[in-house]
Amino acid sequence: MNSNSHIYTKFCQCCNNPISENDLECPFCGCEVDIDEEFYSNYPWALVYTTNTLIEAEMYKANLEGAGIPVNILSQVDTSRMFTVGGLAIVKIYVKSPFVTLAEQIIKEINSSVNHNSN
């Protein structure tokens, strides 16, 4: 089996800064890095964004995953109602809790470049 889809950003266990996959010591504090994927697989999913279109959610997901962030989309579209009106369909974007700040920054950047008529 060839699974090369695990592109995760690691975090220093001393200062909690994001570090490169290949770093053996933290470039921020010099702490020796001893983190495997289980380190953050133990973290809960945290809600970072809510939208009402799955297309938009997928767009954010692609961008977040591109930054190495584990993303989970939870769609609360009521499948018993085929004709969803406006805000009835809610799509929630979750990331692992250590990635919340980074994810929010990325979403903010996307919004500021996409949203032309913000007040």
**Amino acid occupying residue 89:** A
27 binds Zn ion (CB under 5 A): no
98 binds Zn ion (CB under 5 A): no
Which CB sits closer to Zn ion, 32 or 37? 32
26 binds Zn ion (CB under 5 A): yes
Residues sharing a CB contact under 8 Å with residue 4, sequence separation 6 or more, in sequence order: none
Strand partners, 7: none
- Residue 19, classified by CB atoms within 10 Å of its CB into exposed (0-12), middle (13-18) or buried (19+), is buried
Minimum distance, C-beta of residue 27 to Zn ion, in the bound complex (Å):
8
Region binding Zn ion by CB under 5 A among candidate stretches 23-31, 69-77, 85-93, 101-109: 23-31
